[in-house]
Amino acid sequence: MRSFKPDVDFILWTGDTILHLKPENINHQMNVDIFNNVTNLLKSTFPRTPVYPSFGNHDTDLTDQFEPRNTLLYNQAWSRWRSWINDDTQEATCRKGGYYTVKASPYLRIIVLNTILYYKRNKQVTSDGDPAGQFRWLVEALQYARKQKEKVIITAHIPLGVQPNGETELYKHQNDRLIAISNQYSDVIVAMHFGHEHTDAFKVLTDEKGVPTVPIFLAPSVTPLGYSLSHNPGIRLIKYNRITGLHLEIIQYYLDVEAANIAGTASWELEYTTSGAYGIKNLSPASLYSLVNRMKAADSQEFKSFWKHYVVTPPRSLYKECESKCHARVFCRFTKLTESDFAKCLQEFDVDNIQKFWRWFFRR
């Protein structure tokens, strides 16, 4: 990224820095060494740029288990990252739950959440409370930002909403709460940025009338480690309006791993820009929502393009098309952020397909 653009305003580091291994193969010293290495590498590569890190579910000694109270992990993170956060008023929440807020410019505030406190696999928290008081704090931070006329970017590791399998990764109560708070403060929140899924995606939050309110971006991972799909590594640059916070464009870079192995050298290249790939002028909720509407058909140019980017342009030998059933799941996920809304959307798709089939059948 330094070779593409060395003078960025800030960097969002969206977590899962520690190896994705079984708990018996990792220990606390590895955690310390890896975090120190990556922190130092970022500091030496971008010496004048603040980095705002969030915790991933793998970033602890016992995978997925994050406590809603002061722990060694949070204390060490505060020592490591306090020079970036550069605001000692954030020490208490960093030490208590790994979350904080920073005024990044006179117009823009960054709120970094620890969504692992809401993760279904985290057995250190209850499924219905307010772990580490993060929700109460978030509402206060958003109220303050509204009063100060600041715009807010929220960032964390695990996103709200559902996965393509139709399930939320966060406890239902916590997912619902995040949706409600985000809608209540959609005049303040300009965007949300997450990691976790390793693939390149976005969602659009809508209010109860179906009006698009907040854009949600999921960045692909820097490693090619995949779960169900093969994909290349990616890093992204975001162009935004410094006064309004409006996101204008994603400039996505990637590494073609197969080509790099053949050449014996890694060459990061531009993968796509949102204006070039989709013809959209900005990434406002309305603009993304209209893009989603153009992806309603699995064979639309826009959806084909989205799907290729979703898996970060893999080699042809590993590429799998996303047709019919896959498309319905990916499509419903764009705007349906609860399990029940997602299930309803899928049903409508099936009805659609069945009707189309019968119309086609009778025409013959």
> What residue ranges bind Zn ion (CB under 5 A)?
16, 56-57, 196
Closer by beta carbon to Zn ion, 151 or else 196: 196
Shortest approach of Zn ion to residue 58 CB, angstroms? 6
CB of 56 to Zn ion, least distance (A): 5
- DSSP states along 277-342: HH--S---HHHHHHHHHTTSSTTSHHHHHHHHHHTTS--GGG-----HHHHHHHHHHHH--SHHHH
Shortest distance (Å) from residue 190 CB to Zn ion = 24
Instruction: For the sheet with 100-103, list strands across it.
Output: 100-103, 108-112, 151-155, 189-194, 212-218, 201-206
Q: Which one-letter amino acid corresponds to residue 327? A: H
Give residue number: closest CB to Zn ion.
196
Nearer to Zn ion, 148 or 223 (CB): 223
160 or 277: whose CB is closer to Zn ion? 160
Nearer to Zn ion, 196 or 247 (CB): 196
Residue 226 CB, nearest approach to Zn ion (Å): 13
The token pair at 282 is 């900005």
Contacts of 256 (CB under 8 A, 6+ apart): 232, 267, 269, 313, 315
Which residues face 129 on adjacent strands? none
DSSP assignment, residue 162? B
Instruction: Return the number of the residue (196 or 231) whose C-beta is nearest Zn ion.
Output: 196
Burial class (CB in 10 A: 0-12, 13-18, 19+), 165: exposed
Instruction: Give the tokens for residue 248.
Output: 């204008």
Selection from 164, 239, 153, 171 nearest residue 197 by Cα: 164
Q: Taking the complex as a whole, how short is the minimal distance between the CB of residue 196 and Zn ion, in angstroms?
A: 4
List Cα–Cα distances, 60 to 190, 218, 335, in angstroms: 30, 22, 32
User: What is the C-alpha to C-alpha distance for residues 35 and 27, in angstroms, rounded to an integer?
Assistant: 13
Nearer to Zn ion, 194 or 331 (CB): 194
Cβ atoms within 10 Å of 248's Cβ, excluding its own: 17
**In degrees rounded to 5, what are phi and psi of residue 360?**
-65, -40
Determine how β-strand 189-194 pairs with β-strand 212-218: parallel
Decide whether 111 or 219 has the Cβ nearer to Zn ion.
Answer: 219
Closest CB 284 distance from Zn ion, rounded Å: 28
Closest CA to 82 of 96, 72, 71, 95: 95
Closer residue to Zn ion, CB minimum distance, 56 or 220? 56
CB of 19 to Zn ion, least distance (A): 12
Residue 344's identity, in one-letter code, is K
- For residues 64 and 119, the answer to whether their CB atoms sit within 8 Å is yes
Q: Output the smallest distance, CB 156 to Zn ion, in A.
A: 11
Question: In terms of CB distance, is 25 or 267 closer to Zn ion?
Answer: 25
Q: Which is nearer to Zn ion, 59 or 271 (CB)?
A: 59
